[in-house]
Amino acid sequence: MLFETPLPSGVNGVPRSYQVDGKQFIAVQSGWVSMRRVCNFRLNLVRLGEYPEVSQGGSIWVFAVE
């Protein structure tokens, strides 16, 4: 494993790798735009109260590879 970090929601896309000026980056999409309420309901069935609200909307997280 290269790197691990918590994100505000699940990763729901394929990681992408790209390079700019010789530096490598990894990008992932996070967020449950249309499935937010369903995911929130199911998470709370399994772990009551641990997930009061699944983050709304999506985001793209980009990390530089050192």
pLDDT confidence of residue 62? 94
- Asked whether residue 8 carries a pLDDT value surpassing 90, the answer given is no
pLDDT band at 35 (very low <50, low <70, confident <90, very high): low
Ranges of each domain in the chain: 16-64
Structure confidence at residue 64 (pLDDT): 94
Secondary structure in 3-state letters for 1-54: CCCCCCCCCCECCCCEEEEECCEEEEEEEEECCCCHHHHHHHHHHHCCCCCCCC
pLDDT digits (tens, 9 = 90+) for 37-56: 676 777 777 777 666 665 56
What percentage of the chain has pLDDT greater than the value 70? 73
pLDDT at 63 over 70: yes
